[in-house]
Amino acid sequence: MTSRAVRYLGIAATLGGLIVMVAFFVGLYTMGYSLMGSLMPREGEEPFKIGMTPDPSGALTLEFSMGVRNQGFLGTTFTVSLELLSADGESIVRGSDTKALPPGSSGELEVEMTVTPEDVVRYALETSRPTLSFGFNIRSLFDLIGMGISFPMEMGGG
């Protein structure tokens, strides 16, 4: 009886280890492949579109859109987060969008941020070169694992 319990524990540990390892690699494959597929789209396609349009009131609207593809075997949640930073590194405005996609499907992440006329003047956005901090995160395997990249993009003044 007791040796049987020990044997069952051993089987449970071995099987558990194998299941976790296989699930981890499938999740890793899903995230890696989806990350690459979203950031490096097919030839002729752009990874993302970004536009900054001034408002008659003096406000600035920043529109961002990005196509994402789940190219793996598991459901995946994509999140894009943006933060506009002044030339001195101060946070001006931030926004994000999240989309959960089943395997083999694609979608669009969209973020719209508005900088108030006061902030446009305060941070001299018409003349300075603000930075857009871009963050892209993917979670998979029932939200157990995550992967992401972030980098700053220098925006043109005005």
Partner 1 sequence: MRRTVKAVLFASGYILAFVVLPPLALRFVPEGLIVRMTTFMGLEVQAILTTLALIGLAMAATSFVEKMTDDWSPLHLLSSISKEGVSFYLTLYFIGLADPWSFGLVNRLIHVEQPMAPRLALTLLLDFRNIVILFAFIMGLSILKEALGFYYSRREKETTSPSI
Query: Do 142 and 26 meet the contact criterion of CB atoms below 8 Å apart?
Result: no
Return d(Cα 138, Cα 145) in angstroms, integer. Answer: 8
Stretch that binds partner 1, among 8-16, 48-56, 89-97, 118-126 (CB under 8 A): 8-16
Task: Tell the smallest beta-carbon distance from residue 148 to partner 1 (Å).
Answer: 4
Query: Do 153 and 93 meet the contact criterion of CB atoms below 8 Å apart?
Result: no
Return d(Cα 103, Cα 34) in angstroms, integer. Answer: 10
Q: Residues 13-32 vs partner 1: string with x where CB under 8 A?
A: x--xx--x---x--------
The residue (of 121 and 149) whose beta carbon lies closer to partner 1 is 149
- Determine, following the binding rule CB under 8 A, whether residue 6 of this chain makes contact with partner 1: yes
Task: Tell the smallest beta-carbon distance from residue 5 to partner 1 (Å).
Answer: 7
Site for partner 1 in 137-156 (CB under 8 A): 137, 139, 144-152
Show the tokens assigned to 61: 């609207």
Helix extents (H) in the chain: 2-39, 117-122
One DSSP character per residue, 57-74 reads TS-EEEEEEEEEE--SSS
Binding positions for partner 1, rule: CB under 8 A: 2-3, 5-6, 9-10, 12-13, 16-17, 20, 24, 137, 139, 144-152
